[in-house]
């Protein structure tokens, strides 16, 4: 969030206000160990007064009323959101927590979002830009721990690395002799798109090359197909496309090949995410693998840690990404296959004994 955000109360502040140790505060909020009822009430009252797991959230955690965490997503289409949800649910289940899912792109503190916040002890939020204003997120965070997912380098957030990998990927295309690249994606649609575009710009600046305007498309296959037709109808054609995700890249690859273009000879294409389809296109799609399932798992475990310790971190946690080279960028796939780990024959891998 932008602007100055008041620092949330710490477990030490609650302990000081209640006149007890931080260990006692932790036991009360976790609902473990023996604590006198009068002390327990004193701790909960101090937590409420300091907006530290306030009101219902503190009482719910102490009494194990909910034992649930929430996840808000703008949609559930495409492999990205599915992977994120699987990671979140799996980690929550391992921790003994149930999951409440809300899919909404409705702006502001909508009724469904307020209802979700009342039913869970902590909330992970992936919102579209402008969907939740800073003051609305702050309001939520005063009621219960709120973790932002893929929100850029913001306090109380987690995400995956974008800029350095996008720069490296763009530089790799330069190494194939590509000189007229276009970023296919709208930097204004999401923080991760903006960060990938920033890496694209950095690579051009380092090479002393001019940067083309981005092709402002969305994240879906339909967006990729529409841009492919726009590209085919245009007078000027780039020699490389750095796509915001694999869905757009795979759709472009398919449409352009149907129109008679040779990939990568006529046009290099790269994606982002390394979804399963990227391995089976022809040529294979050069892309960036990001640990989306791990990101979902990290969201659940971070909320659990915040709830059980009463300590909420502020610095963003960023998971690493890596480039996966295949043939769509111009790399010879036969050579790439030659350096892959050897697969054991079926008989050897199954350890079958000869008859």
Domain limits at 188?
A: 163-289
Looking at the domain assignment, is residue 128 inside a domain?
Answer: yes
Contact in structure between 9 and 51 (CB atoms under 8 Å): yes
Whether residues 150 and 296 share a domain: the answer is: yes
Number of domains in the chain: 3
Whether residues 168 and 284 share a domain: the answer is: yes
Whether residues 49 and 16 share a domain: the answer is: yes
Q: Indicate which CATH number applies to the domain containing 1.
A: 1.10.260.40
Share of the chain above pLDDT 70, in %: 86
Between 67 and 319, residue with greater pLDDT = 319
Lowest-confidence segment of 48-62, 90-104, 311-325 by average pLDDT: 48-62
Whether residues 226 and 312 share a domain: the answer is: no
Whether residues 177 and 117 share a domain: the answer is: no
Which pairs from 22-28 meet CB under 8 Å and 24+ separation? 25/310, 26/308, 26/309, 26/310, 28/62
Residue 218 — very low, low, confident or very high, per pLDDT cuts 50/70/90? very high
Whether residues 175 and 272 share a domain: the answer is: yes
Whether residues 169 and 284 share a domain: the answer is: yes
Whether residues 9 and 54 share a domain: the answer is: yes
Looking at the domain assignment, is residue 295 inside a domain?
Answer: yes
Whether residues 70 and 60 share a domain: the answer is: no
Segment (H or E) for 38 = helix 37-49
Looking at the domain assignment, is residue 126 inside a domain?
Answer: yes
Q: Indicate which CATH number applies to the domain containing 298.
A: 3.40.50.2300
Residue 343 — very low, low, confident or very high, per pLDDT cuts 50/70/90? very low
Cα gap 252→215, rounded to integer Å: 13
pLDDT of residue 123: 96
Whether residues 180 and 274 share a domain: the answer is: yes
Whether residues 156 and 295 share a domain: the answer is: yes
pTM of the model: 0.75
The token duo for 214 is: 């981005």
């Amino acid at each position: 969030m932008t602007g100055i955000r008041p620092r949330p109360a710490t477990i030490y502040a609650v302990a000081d206000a209640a006149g007890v140790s931080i260990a006692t505060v932790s036991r009360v909020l976790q609902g473990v160990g023996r604590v006198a009822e009068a002390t327990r009430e004193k701790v909960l009252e101090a937590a409420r007064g300091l907006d530290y797991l306030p009101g219902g959230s503190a009482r719910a955690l102490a009494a194990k009323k909910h034992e649930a965490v929430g996840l808000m997503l703008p949609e559930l289409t495409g492999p990205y959101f599915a992977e994120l949800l699987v990671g979140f649910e799996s980690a929550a289940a391992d921790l003994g927590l149930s999951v409440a899912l809300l899919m909404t792109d409705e702006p502001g503190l909508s009724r469904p979002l307020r209802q979700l916040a009342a039913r869970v002890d902590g909330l992970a939020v992936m919102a579209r830009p402008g969907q939740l204003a800073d003051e609305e997120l702050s309001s939520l965070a005063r009621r219960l721990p709120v973790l932002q997912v893929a929100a850029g380098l913001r306090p109380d957030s987690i995400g995956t690395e974008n800029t350095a990998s996008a720069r490296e990927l763009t530089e790799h295309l330069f190494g194939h002799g590509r000189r007229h690249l276009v970023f296919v994606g709208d930097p204004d649609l999401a923080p991760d798109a903006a960060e990938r575009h920033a890496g694209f710009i950095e690579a051009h600046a380092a090479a002393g090359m001019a940067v083309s305007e981005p092709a402002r498309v969305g994240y879906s296959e339909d967006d990729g197909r529409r841009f492919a037709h726009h590209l085919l109808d245009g007078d000027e054609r780039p020699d490389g496309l750095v796509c915001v995700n694999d869905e757009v890249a795979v759709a472009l690859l398919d449409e352009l090949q149907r129109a008679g273009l040779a990939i990568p000879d006529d046009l290099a294409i790269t994606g982002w995410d390394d979804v399963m389809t990227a391995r089976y296109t022809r040529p294979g799609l050069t892309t960036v693998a990001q640990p989306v399932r791990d990101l979902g798992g990290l969201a659940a475990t971070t909320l659990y840690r915040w709830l059980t310790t009463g300590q909420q971190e502020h610095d963003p946690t960023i998971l690493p990404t890596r480039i996966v080279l295949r043939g769509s960028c111009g790399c010879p796939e036969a050579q790439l296959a030659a350096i892959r780990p050897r697969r054991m024959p079926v008989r050897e891998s199954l350890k079958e004994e000869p008859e």
